[in-house]
Amino acid sequence: MAKLAFLGLGVMGYPMAGHLARKGHAVTVYNRTAAKADAWVAHYGGAMAATPAAAAQGADFVMACVGNDDDLRAVCLGEAGAFAGMETGAIFVDHTTVSAKVTRELAQQADALGLGFVDAPVSGGQAGAENGVLSVMCGGAEAHYAAAEPVIAAYAKICRRLGESGAGQMAKMCNQIAIAGLVQGLAESLHFAEKAGLSIPDLVEVISQGAAGSWQMANRAQTMAEGQFDFGFAVDWMRKDLGICLQTANETGASLPVTALVDQFYKDVQKMGGSRWDTSSLIARLRKLE
């Protein structure tokens, strides 16, 4: 078993760190709001630290799941940052969805300090984190990934290395691009069905068994029909992710017309007061347009 630090105990990080503790790893946690770290220790055992540097001291692996580029820099850098507390040869594993630019920047700084760095954003939402069945897409040196993969397995259904530093983040962008189009398509399908007077449960039972079937349909169609939008991954976070996708597309020359459109639809949901609704709330926008 390894000695680990986990930085960031939000809706994803809290259960992910818990899976590591349940696997027998010695886990020290850090969270910007200390009360959340206190609650985690009361639930899972282990220890908490006042700073990322303190949490990282003596750790074989430091895992992070925070909010955005700036949050990641804050927990990595400076006297109180994790890099300052890590020992040569330790590996930083970042589960945050951030830009490939900041990933490569921090990976270079880690390398200069004799540290490993693996970008490992996740997909599967709050339910995937709680049930330990996340999809994890990774970038970084092969040796660092090989060392980290058995630890990541505590909460992963599948974990794959896609290439060098930044490849994991680029793969996560692909994931979010695909989800944006899928959710909008599902929202329009259900909205159309409502207007046509069809039974949503009967419709979904039939079409989910054919080419239209998807995770989103299986897990969100009924709750979308019922107007329930409290399932973890918030619209605010999706817009943050899609902003990264669109900025990177501009840099690489990729064309993302549907993604750009759906991003604006999520902006409409925010204006409706749905910033904290989950991403399936696109159907609420269509209903408002009636």
Confidence at residue 282, expressed as pLDDT on a 0 to 100 scale: 98
Two tokens, residue 179: 């989800």
Exactly one of 36, 157, 172, 267 is catalytic; name it: 172
| Per-residue pLDDT tens digits for 169-208 | 999 999 999 999 999 999 999 999 999 999 999 999 999 9
pLDDT in tens, 242-280: 999 999 999 999 999 999 999 999 999 999 999 999 999
Q: What are phi and psi of 48, to 5 degrees?
A: -125, 155
Taking residues 33-44, report their average pLDDT.
Answer: 97
For position 287, what pLDDT does the model report?
A: 96
Using a pLDDT cut of 70, give the percent of the chain over it: 100
The pLDDT of residue 239 is 98
Helix (H) or strand (E) holding 30: strand 26-30
CA 249 to chain centre: 20
Average pLDDT (131-160) is 98
What's the pLDDT at 231? Answer: 86
Confidence of residue 289 (pLDDT cuts 50, 70, 90): confident
Nearest to 77 by CA among 113, 48, 49: 113
CATH topology of domain 171-288: N-(1-d-carboxylethyl)-l-norvaline Dehydrogenase; domain 2 (1.10.1040)
pLDDT reported for residue 17: 98
12 touches 40 (CB < 8 A):
no
Q: Which architecture characterizes domain 3-163 according to CATH?
A: 3-Layer(aba) Sandwich (3.40)
CB 183 within 8 A of CB 34: no
Q: Is 172 a catalytic residue?
A: yes
Q: Which DSSP symbol is given to 139? A: E
CB atoms within 10 A of CB 161: 22
Higher pLDDT: 290 or 170? It is 170
User: Measuring CA to CA, how many Å separate 168 from each of 7, 139, 197?
Assistant: 19, 4, 43
Confidence of residue 1 (pLDDT cuts 50, 70, 90): confident
**Predicted local confidence at residue 4, as pLDDT:** 98
Q: Per-domain residue ranges for the chain?
A: 3-163, 171-288
pTM of the model: 0.94
Q: What is the mean pLDDT of the chain?
A: 97
Q: What pLDDT was estimated at residue 244?
A: 97
User: Does position 290 have pLDDT exceeding 80, yes or no?
Assistant: no
What would the pLDDT profile of 49-90 be if each residue is shown by its tens digit?
Answer: 999 999 999 999 999 999 999 999 999 999 999 999 999 999
